[in-house]
Amino acid sequence: MTREPAYLSFHGIGKTFPGVKALQDISFDCHAGEVHALMGENGAGKSTLLKILSGSYRASSGEIRLKGQPVNFQHTTDALNAGVAIIYQELHLIPEMTVAENIFLGQLPQRGGLVNHRRLRAEAAKQLAVLGMDIDPDMPLKYLSLGQWQMVEIAKALTRNAQVIAFDEPTSSLSAREIDQLFRVIRQLRADGRVVLYVSHRMEEIFALSDAITVFKDGRYVRTFSDMSTCDNEQLVQAMVGRDIGDIYGYSTRPCGEVRLRLDNVQAKGVRSPVSFSVRAGEIVGLFGLVGAGRSELMKGLFGATRLTGGELWLDGEKLNLREPVEAIRAGIMLCPEDRKADGIIPVHSVRDNINISARRNNLTAGFLIDKAWESKNAGLHIRSLNIKTPTADQLIMNLSGGNQQKAILGRWLSEEMKVIMLDEPTRGIDVGAKNEIYQLIYALAERGIAVLFASSDLPEVMGLADRILVMREGEIAGELAHDDATEALTLGLAMPKTAKPATAVA
């Protein structure tokens, strides 16, 4: 059976910024009625290609073709008028305006020179109904959830009769229910014969949605997987990073010292039962559990962010009574939190400030002035040693990728006398290549004799990194497994609730 000609084609696309070749000779095809995923490490060129497709950037070379005809978008409106819409992570909507006004922004129906509000509401309700969304068209957008915002953005694209719709990391801030809703809509768009481009680092999403996957690396085209039945995680990772998936974790044993951190019947808010375990110097201990198991709550208690309500916490044989994080930091206990954007970084400050913020209290001149020379030297040291990809130390940390933000947080704690590092979901929202760098940093910390306690819901990650795995279930430690004894079935079995809840019917 002969396949229909490509609806969207990229031919030799290149993009050069001053001193940087962001894209080089990108060529591949996308077909109507297809979800085509774009994958690659941060900086591979995926978002740059979408910006060229949207008319935000001009290609330095090559051409884009729609239905076989070359197009040259000078502006985003050119792309929209041609039926090309991009749904970015940062949604381009106006919170103070109503849902209906946002959907028809720039093309409000008028009558006698005035906005026809009755028609506006009716047309908006019609578009929302197509997406299966029960949203009041007159509701100001600011009162809706992020997932609902996204649906409004999609409805807006459909009013332009968009036949090509691209999604750039659309699930990064959505709940599980909103993700399911988004996937339903994307499958509907595919069934309607549209081209859907989908950028994500989450492999489970890629395999759940995609009909084809194109992989970029360092601004270059690597390959397209057009037969998903022959594509698996290992092939995809190898295409993205140029090495086998087995090399990603690189586990090796190392000598461990005496017990560094010990919990004796510790009780914390959100942790149902007293918890007892220890972590030795140079040891990597993984905390695994399902959502709501209590891992994050336990770590917050150990960091002094919430008060421990019982039991004893010991560090190098000395009993601790932590009342706030600054006391944990002074003792040598550090935390990289689960939500790095909300709790880990100061978004509107520079990389330099974020690295130095904790150590600043110990490096003041004349007792109260910031030692800018020391801070520049310290930030530069960690930027180089941790391979933090930033143009300068003065770059706002909010502009860095998730992996580089995480490395900056680690750089902050490396400026302190660290004895214990706790990492809560250390690689969430990070691409495969950056994950490998984080793993190597974790191993390096353990080699220095630092006790490492990390929590992750990524089972292969826990099994690949940890010397020991502590499995949490419903607020208690359900079991402990050595690295060589852990299997997926055994670990998941310990993490599952004791009694399964009956399925709830959904109308």
Model confidence pLDDT, tens digit, residues 451-461 = 999 999 888 88
218 shares its domain with 81: yes
User: Rounded to the nearest 5 degrees, what angle is found at the Cα of 208, between the Cα atoms of 207 and 214?
Assistant: 40
Q: How many domains does the chain have?
A: 3
Query: Helix, strand, or coil here: 47?
Result: helix
188 shares its domain with 135: yes
Band of residue 164 on the pLDDT scale cut at 50, 70, 90: very high
Q: How many residues does the chain have?
A: 507
303 shares its domain with 437: yes
Query: Helix, strand, or coil here: 321?
Result: coil
Q: Is residue 340 part of a domain?
A: no
Domain end among 416, 435, 467? 416
- pTM exceeds 0.95 for this model: no
Domain with 450 in it: 257-332+417-497
Greatest alpha-carbon pair distance for the chain in Å reads 82
300 shares its domain with 290: yes
Q: Is residue 338 part of a domain?
A: no
The CA–CA distances, whole Å, from 173 to 43, 59, 169, 342, 458 equal 21, 30, 9, 12, 18
Instruction: List the one residue out of 183, 205, 123 whose CA is nearest residue 158.
Output: 123
Q: In this predicted model, which residue has the larger pLDDT, 132 or 354?
A: 354
Q: Is residue 204 part of a domain?
A: yes
How far apart (Å, rounded) are the C-alpha atoms in residues 30 and 10? 9
Q: Is residue 380 part of a domain?
A: yes
Q: Determine the distance from the C-alpha atom of residue 15 to the mean position of all C-alpha atoms in its chain, rounded to a whole number.
A: 25
Domain end among 390, 416, 442? 416
Instruction: List the one residue out of 411, 426, 409 whose CA is nearest residue 462.
Output: 426
Query: What is 331-400 written as a DSSP string?
Result: HTEEEE-S-IIIII--TTSBHHHHHHTTGGGG-EETTTEE-HHHHHHHHHHHHHHTT---S-TTSBGGGS
Q: Determine the distance from the C-alpha atom of residue 54 to the mean position of all C-alpha atoms in its chain, rounded to a whole number.
A: 23
- Round to the nearest angstrom and report the end-to-end CA distance of the chain: 39
Domain end among 416, 439, 474? 416
234 shares its domain with 366: no
Q: Is residue 230 part of a domain?
A: yes
How far apart (Å, rounded) are the C-alpha atoms in residues 424 and 335? 8
**In contact, 268 and 297? CB cutoff 8 Å:** yes
How far apart (Å, rounded) are the C-alpha atoms in residues 131 and 8? 24
Q: Is residue 503 part of a domain?
A: no
276 shares its domain with 240: no
Percentage of the residues of the chain whose pLDDT score is greater than 90:
52
Confidence check: pLDDT of 441 > 60: yes
401 shares its domain with 441: no
Instruction: List the one residue out of 364, 359, 355, 404 whose CA is nearest residue 382.
Output: 355
Q: Is residue 339 part of a domain?
A: no
How far apart (Å, rounded) are the C-alpha atoms in residues 160 and 183? 21
User: Rounded to the nearest 5 degrees, what angle is found at the Cα of 90, between the Cα atoms of 456 and 72?
Assistant: 125
How far apart (Å, rounded) are the C-alpha atoms in residues 403 and 488? 26
Which helix H or strand E contains 118, and what residues bound it?
helix 117-130
Q: Is residue 1 part of a domain?
A: no
Confidence check: pLDDT of 501 > 50: no
Supply the CATH number for residue 95's domain. 3.40.50.300
Tokens 């489970």 appear where? 204
Among the listed ranges 200-204, 301-305, 392-396, 479-483, which one has the minimum average pLDDT value? 200-204
163 shares its domain with 295: no
pLDDT in tens, 218-264: 889 999 999 998 888 778 877 876 655 556 677 888 999 999 999 99
412 shares its domain with 423: no
Residues contacting 176, CB < 8 A, separation 6+? none
Tokens 């770590």 appear where? 299
Confidence check: pLDDT of 6 > 50: yes
Compute the average pLDDT of residues 355-379: 78
Instruction: List the one residue out of 318, 334, 317 whose CA is nearest residue 326.
Output: 334
Band of residue 325 on the pLDDT scale cut at 50, 70, 90: very high
74 shares its domain with 95: yes
How far apart (Å, rounded) are the C-alpha atoms in residues 313 and 321? 7
Q: In this predicted model, which residue has the larger pLDDT, 251 or 34?
A: 34
How far apart (Å, rounded) are the C-alpha atoms in residues 459 and 214? 26
